[in-house]
Structure 1
Amino acid sequence: MTFSVIARDPATGELGIAVSSCILAVGRAVPSARPGVGVVAVQARSRRGLGQSLLAGLADGGDPADLVRAAAHAAEDVDRQIAVLDATGRVAADTGRGSFPVSGHLLGEQLSVQGNMLASPEVLPAMVQAFSAARGDLPDRLLAALTAGQDAGGDVRGRQSAALLVVSGTPASDEDDGVGMDLRVDDSGDPVAQLRMLRNLQRAYDERDYETLALFAPEGARDLYAALAASQRGDRTAVRAALEEMRTRPGWSAWLAAMAGDARLAGVSRLLE
């Protein structure tokens, strides 16, 4: 009922999973990850706690192949499908003998794709090929694989939800929880496309792409990003117009005053002096 991809980026050590399904909120059910430990996909009719159990096994030094083999022997999980990737790139997967057709998994270098109740046997090979051919960072490559799976038919029942989770290859700390990306589309007619849009929006926030945020951020904040974008361009008139529009809204003047020390607004203030 689901198709997913888990992978490690050998250049950065990041670990990630992208998944889509015709169930509500697949991001709640399938992906599990722990920075510096690994990432797990638990699909079909697997026990709900299996993902965390597998991560605990990885944290204790377990080998993915051994953990998958042990889980595969659980009689109550004949319809389960699991994939496990550790922080060094070791990967293993298993599709239970009772899993829904078309079902299966394919392993690659620090990579696994898996799915059940697929519309076509071409879904998983298309995902592997797309991931291998894609450029960009790990989230982009995971999304390329997920998109290829959807284009090849995806879930035979249709589309509803998707998720993208990427964590660091090193353990979390007090300063950094190690979660680089955690995006979910819980209910949509085209969840993979919506997930790509969210990833692009996240990129705009991360890279301070104020021109993009001025168009696609929540409506109440667009004037702020328009002012910041105009500041980057050195456009004093556009900065003033955006700020004046913001000041017409209740509470925004006090908010701007409170943000006076924010480095992002320093350029805006200089333009208006």
Structure 2
Amino acid sequence: MTFSVVARDPESGELGIAVSSCILAVGRAVPSARPGVGVVAVQARSRRGLGQSLLSDLADGASPADLVRAAAHAAEDVDRQIAVLDATGAVAADTGRGSFPVSGHLLGDAMSVQGNMLASAEVLPAMAQAFGAASGDLADRLLAALTAGQDAGGDLRGRQSAALLVVSGTPATDENDGVRFDLRVDDSGDPVAQLRMLRNLQRAYDERDYDTLALFAPEGARDLYAALAASRRGDRDAARAALEAMRTKPGWAAWLAAMAGDARLSAVSRLLD
């Protein structure tokens, strides 16, 4: 009923999972991750609490292979499909005999793809190949694999939800929770495409790509990002026009006054005079 990819990036050490399914809010059910510990996918008829249990065992020093072997012999987990990846890149997966056909998993270097109730046997090979061929950071490569799986047929029943979860390869701290991406599309006719859009939007926020945000941020904030973009490129007239447009909206004038000292808006106090 679901297809997913788990992987570790050898350069950054980041750990991640991307998943899609024809169920509501797959991001609530399948992916689990803990910074510095590992990533787990629990699919098919897996127990809801299995993911967190596997992560706790990883944190206590168990290997992915041992955890998958134990699950394969547990009566309560006979119908599950799981993949377990630790912070070193060791990975193991298993498809229980109760999983819906077409089903299976493929292991690679610090990577695994798995799925059940798939539209064709080509879904998993397409995902593995796309992941290996993709460039960019781990999130980009995970989404490339997920897209290839969808293009190869994906879930036999159709499309509804998708999720992307990427965490750091080192433990969380008080200053940094270690979560790099936690994006979900809970109900959509094309959830994988929607998930890619969300990833691109988060990239724009992270990289302060104000030109992109001026087009795709929520409508109420677009004038702000237009002003930031114009200020960055030195276009005072365009920045002033965007700020004046914001001033006409209820409640924004006071907020703009408070922004006068923000370094991102060069000479904003003069623009607002």
1:154 is aligned to 154
CA shift for structure 1 position 125: 0.3
2:56 is aligned to 56
Q: If the length of structure 1 is used for normalisation, what is the TM-score? A: 0.98
CA shift for structure 1 position 259: 2.5
1:77 is aligned to 77
1:17 is aligned to 17
Asked if 2 retains the 8 angstrom alpha-carbon contact of 1:204 and 1:210, the reply is yes
| Letter aligned with residue 74 of structure 1 | A
SS at match of 1:264: coil
2:120 is aligned to 120
Asked if 2 retains the 8 angstrom alpha-carbon contact of 1:236 and 1:272, the reply is no
| Letter aligned with residue 18 of structure 2 | A
Asked if 2 retains the 8 angstrom alpha-carbon contact of 1:228 and 1:268, the reply is no
SS at match of 2:264: helix
CA shift for structure 1 position 50: 0.2
SS at match of 2:261: coil
- Segment of structure 1 superposing worse, 217-226 or 68-77: 68-77
Equivalent residue runs for 1:1-273 within 5 Å: 1-266=1-266, 268-269=268-269
Asked if 2 retains the 8 angstrom alpha-carbon contact of 1:25 and 1:186, the reply is yes
SS at match of 2:118: coil
Question: 1:150, 1:142 → 2: CA distance?
Answer: 13
Q: CA RMSD in A?
A: 1.2
Q: Deviations over 1:22-69 (max 9, x none)?
A: 000000000000000000000000000000000000000110000111
Q: Deviations over 1:198-249 (max 9, x none)?
A: 0000000000000000000000000000000111121111101000000001
Asked if 1 retains the 8 angstrom alpha-carbon contact of 2:261 and 2:268, the reply is no
Question: 2:76, 2:103 → 1: CA distance?
Answer: 18
Point out where structure 2 has 5 or more consecutive residues left out of the alignment: none
Asked if 2 retains the 8 angstrom alpha-carbon contact of 1:183 and 1:199, the reply is yes
Asked if 1 retains the 8 angstrom alpha-carbon contact of 2:232 and 2:264, the reply is no
Point out where structure 1 has 5 or more consecutive residues left out of the alignment: none
- Segment of structure 1 superposing worse, 182-191 or 254-263: 254-263
SS at match of 1:62: coil
CA shift for structure 1 position 272: 6.5
Question: 2:270, 2:207 → 1: CA distance?
Answer: 22
Calculate percent identity across the aligned residue pairs: 89
Question: 1:162, 1:267 → 2: CA distance?
Answer: 43
CA shift for structure 1 position 269: 4.4
Asked if 2 retains the 8 angstrom alpha-carbon contact of 1:231 and 1:271, the reply is no
Question: 1:120, 1:129 → 2: CA distance?
Answer: 16
| Letter aligned with residue 260 of structure 2 | A
SS at match of 2:101: coil
Q: Deviations over 1:95-122 (max 9, x none)?
A: 0011100000000000000000000000
Asked if 2 retains the 8 angstrom alpha-carbon contact of 1:100 and 1:116, the reply is yes
Q: If the length of structure 2 is used for normalisation, what is the TM-score? A: 0.98
- Segment of structure 1 superposing worse, 227-236 or 49-58: 227-236
Figure out how many residues of one structure are paired with residues of the other and give that number. Answer: 273
SS at match of 1:221: helix
CA shift for structure 1 position 73: 1.1
